Structure 1
Amino acid sequence: MIFEEELLVLLNARYPIIYILTIEEDRLEYTIRNRIVNKSYSSLYVWDFIQGYKLNPIKKEFAKRNPLEALEFIENINSRTPSIFILKDFKRFLKDLTISRKLRNILQLLKVQPKTIIIVDPEVQIPNELKDHITILKFNLPTPLEIDAELARLSKSLILKGRFRKRMVEKIIQACQGLSLEKIRRILGKAIVIYNRMDRNVIPLILKEKRQVISETELLEFWSVKVSLKDVGGAKNLKFWLTQRSEIFSEKAINYGLVAPRGLLLIGSEGTGKSLLAKAIAYEWKLPLLRLDIGRLFAGVVGESESRTREMIRITESLAPCALWIDEMDKTFADSEMSLDGGTTLRVLGTLATWLAEKKVPVFVIATANDLHLLPLEIVRKGRFDEIFHLNIPSREDRVLIFEIHLRRFRPQTWKKYDTKKLSKASNKFSGAEIEQTVIEAMYAAFTEKREFTTNDILLAVRKTVPMTRIDPLRAEVVEGWSSSGRLRMA
């Protein structure tokens, strides 16, 4: 049910007080005035602390700086005309005994007369004595249709170089999702001033604004990535799975009826490329990448951790379509640790697991973990993720590719002169991260001697490196056994 329909139902059902969560007062007022009032022939009165009531039939600025008088106006106004009263800044007065008592006194009047109070604020703060009488309704950020309408309005009102191409409009709309209409207007206005056109140059401006919004929350990080799947060696099965779904969030896929994927759980030892893949997926699918450090969700005050988790979910959904990277999930949700904090971790896990299973918005979750056995069953059971892939130690062929990727990065002109097959043979049981480190070690050695590094330098670095599979062979054997057991899908 869209916001307008839900609000109309509450108004027609004579709900006395509605608390609407939004940071967009002007857009909400415009929506109510043009889509609600016109349908129900209601009168609309808007009050704020500084200006009092606007468009008031009694006198200008009536009840300014006087919230009690604002409620008395509602009580005394003509009861025959269906009326809506929008009260801004009013949550600050709800804790006042006089205001709280006055609201409860006029509740019965509001139920029998066609009057509804709408309190507008971005945060919920309702005293216990009023909770049973107030209904909370969320006014979401602009939909793709609303953003599209704003772009159309701009194109008509301004003379721009070039035209809006459909594909470009779709990309701009996708990038704008998660921002308020006012911020979208400012960004588009800035783009017009700088470029005098609407093209791909507007996308970085939008992403910069998103990065600022996310950094203010202190819960999520916005990552700018330029890593593609070509920078990941091996993982052929996983790459094929991802390629099949590369356009899953496009308008064409939605019109086809495809269901957006929920996400992936990537299991593997340290250095096998889990984090690299998370970045590559976001880059390949043209999605903004948000990184969640689960430790940031936890706070010392009782109930605040669960509140932070819900806030993280709200922010993530507001920025959809996007990719959410949850790194090293096993470090937080290890079964052995969850009984030591009074149940806080279990409650956070429950909130997160429920969201993973039931989310309807296009948020693709990429979770990584080193140890499958540490993860609780609530996370790994079917329905949370589309697939669980195991990233094992690279094969000989994969090691050739990984060496080539790193050498091409460090020596794009001369990478072919290195014997990657010989290097691959010498680096048996090395992870991708360990292979990269051997190349860097060889570069340091050659730089000290003021010469170019060679294949022999890398071979020497390989011989000096002890891979994790030799440091902890029993654990490595267990990890490698996960894929052969059939419990996990080989990447």
Structure 2
Amino acid sequence: MNTQLLAQLKLYGAVCYSYPLIEQASVKKELQAIACHLKVPLIELQLSEDLSESLANDGLYVVEHLPSLLGELQGWQKTRLESWLIDSIHQCRLIQDRYLILLDNRETELARYLSNIIPTEIRNLPTVAEIQSSIEQELEASGITSDVTEQMALSVSGLSSEEVKLAVQKAIASCGDLVQGLIAQKQQTLKGLGLEFLPSLDVPTFGGLDRLKEAIEQVALDYSEQARGLNLPIPKGWLMAGPPGTGKTFAAKVCAAKLGFPLISVGVDIVKSKGSGYLKRLLKVIEAASPSVCYFDEFDKFFDPDAAITGGGTTKETLGVLLTWFQEKTTKTFVIATLNRLDALPPELTRAGRFDRLFYVGFPQAVERKEIIELHASRFDPRFRGETAMTERDWRVLLNRTQNCTGAELRAIAELAAKEQFYQGNVQIHLKLDDFLKARSKITPLYVRDTERVLAMANRAKGVCENASASDCSIFAPLEQSLWGD
């Protein structure tokens, strides 16, 4: 029996209960158990009936699809249904053995003025222990003897009970590796929700961003048992701002790989289209799938710049959900949110306590550009793994010509240079300064194409974010000169 739903019913008299459609049969059994515990009959109401006398007797009344119907109706029909709902809620609060449950399997939220008087309860996802038990039952039913480990249960954590059963059945039918089959089913299920699930990441390191690399090492320490023994807080996450192509997304993947966590990428567009109610469900799924790195790309898309100032529309509802989640989150879910326009975020999200650290990821400095070029050029020309590929003079010329190029643009330059040698019929690729300069001439950097907006991104981040890179003190750093040339 769902004790949490029962407690909400006793407290408020009426509850809107949200659950995935696949759980419908289990939900009906839950409601039967709750009605039995309350010692009242279970009564299902049809919205097509005359509702004026519907709650005349004691009982647990159940209405399906009312939230979505209210969103579709207009005029007097909507007003009549809302009036009935408000009267029914007050009646349930006044009369002891009269209860009302609105069932919602379409992630449709009630209007704000209705949600203030009737709470929404989202069906809990199974714990790791419950998942283990469910997998054991499905394996026994199929005549398979196998020890169900915690790792096996974690491979489908975040799915509902029925989704777990279905995943096990499909994994058995595929006759392959059971754990890999479960992970594949989890990826497919989460994709349907707008979440991209990457169970493991084999990514190389990235060039530059030394402070960010150090911060990743520190987060790994923060999750250690030693940190728990010292009562240090569990990390919340980072906010990374900066122009496109500077390595923010790749840094998130490296962080997940370093921590040994899967990466769950949230599709911002699908969340915006379905509203804050859908976001609540996704966050429950993400927390149930912990440990993980939860990645929000283009985080500023959640918030309209004007609404961020006025506090109106869906921005306010989304902000409320996110603020509550950041404040109450206790699982090993490390959040990384990347964005271009820091000023699009409401100030509540950038204050201390929301994110552990705020980084500005800008254009790579000279020594960082050298690292990035070496990293990508070494894929084609092994000489770049050492210091013999080009002379110091050649590097100075190339670094001067690639100033204000992003990491993505530097990668493109290295790849274009290698392709050009391949097109010339070379059996082996030996990259020289001229190859890089020729490739550079074919690329128009973002800084050149959109200088004003790029500078605005950097200016708005100053004083709010810390730089992801330390100052360049290498021999390739440009000399600082005053107006008098000193």
- Is the structural similarity TM-score above 0.5? yes
Is the 2:363–2:406 contact (alpha carbons within 8 Å) kept by the matching residues of 1? yes
Q: Which residue of 1 is the match for residue 216 of structure 2?
A: 242
2: CA distance, partners of 1:330 / 1:103: 37
CA contact (8 A) 1:19 1:137 kept: yes
1:154 is the counterpart of 2:143: no
Specify the alignment match of 1:19 in structure 2. 16
> In the alignment, does 2:39 pair up with 1:42?
yes
Residue 436 (structure 1) shift: 0.8
Do 1:266 and 1:389's aligned partners in 2 also have CA atoms closer than 8 Å? yes
Deviations 1:410-434 (A, max 9, x none): 56x7865871675654324343223
| 1:381-392 map, 5 Å | 381-392=351-362
Deviation, 1:344, is 4.3
Q: What is the alpha-carbon distance in structure 2 between the residues aligned to residue 108 and residue 477 of structure 1?
A: 60
> How many angstroms apart in 2 are the aligned matches of 1:477 and 1:228?
34
Q: Who is 1:198 aligned against?
A: 178
**What do residues 298-343 of structure 1 show as CA deviations (whole Å, max 9, x unaligned)?**
67xxxxxxx72453343233233354433345688686x5589995
Q: Name the CA distance, whole Å, in 2 between partners of 1:44 and 1:421.
A: 86
CA distance in 2, matches of 1:253, 1:151: 33
- 2:354 alignment partner, SS class: coil
What are structure 2's unaligned runs of at least 5 residues? 71-76, 470-486
Q: Does 1:165 align with 2:139?
A: no
Aligned residue for 1:435? 410
Pairs within 5 Å for 1:122-137: 122=105, 123=107, 134-137=118-121
Match of 1:281 among 255, 259, 264: 255
DSSP 3-state at the match of 2:60:
strand
Aligned residues: 445
Choose which of 322, 327, 343 in structure 2 pairs with 1:358. 327
Q: Does 1:213 align with 2:213?
A: no
SS state of the match for residue 275, structure 2?
helix
- TM-superposed deviation, 1:235: 2.5
After TM superposition, the structure 1 = structure 2 runs for residues 222-301 of structure 1, keeping only pairs within 5 Å, are: 222=196, 224=198, 228=202, 230-246=204-220, 259-284=233-258, 285-293=260-268
Higher mean Cα deviation, 276-285 or 421-430?
Answer: 421-430
Query: Would you say 1:347 and 2:288 are equivalent positions?
Result: no
Q: What is the CA distance between 1:365 and its match in structure 2? A: 2.9
The 8 Å contact of residues 392 and 480 in structure 1, kept in 2 or not, is answered as: yes
- Within a 5 Å distance, the mapping from 1:407-422 to structure 2 comes to 407-410=377-380, 416=385, 419=389
Shift of 1:189: 0.8
Q: 1:193 to 1:273 in 2, by over 3 A?
A: same
Q: Conserved in 2, the CA contact under 8 Å of 1:400 and 1:420? A: no
Aligned counterpart, 2:284:
317
Question: 1: CA distance between counterparts of 2:425 and 2:272?
Answer: 50
Residue identity in the other structure for 2:423: T
Per the normalisation by structure 1, the TM-score is 0.70
- Give me the whole-angstrom Cα distance separating, in 1, the residues matched to 2:104 and 2:408: 48
Deviations 1:221-241 (A, max 9, x none): 526587556331233332232
How far residue 297 of structure 1 moved from its aligned partner, in angstroms, is 6.3
Q: Which residue of 2 aligns with 1:460?
A: 437
SS of aligned partner of 2:168: helix
Contact 1:317 1:361 in 2 (8 A): no
Matches of 2:301 and 2:391, distance apart in 1: 36
Task: Quote the Cα distance in structure 1 between the aligned partners of 2:363 and 2:411.
Answer: 14
1:443: Cα distance to partner?
2.5
Question: Which residue in the other structure is 1:114 paired with?
Answer: 97
Which sits farther off after the overlay, 439-448 or 247-256?
247-256
**Conservation of the 8 A alpha-carbon contact between 1:20 and 1:137:** yes
Would you say the 8 A contact 2:174–2:181 is kept in 1? Answer: no
Partner secondary structure for residue 195 of structure 1: coil
| CA separation of 1:424 and 1:191: change in aligned 2, threshold 3 A | farther
Map 1:360-379 onto structure 2 (within 5 A).
360=329, 362=331, 363-370=333-340, 377-379=347-349
Q: What is aligned with 1:61?
A: none
Q: CA RMSD in A?
A: 4.9
CA distance in 1 between partners of 2:141 and 2:413 (Å): 59
8 A contact 2:171–2:182 mirrored in 1: yes
**Unpaired runs of 5+ in structure 1?**
50-64, 215-220, 300-306
AA matched with 2:430 = T
2:241–2:340 CA contact under 8 A, matched in 1:
yes
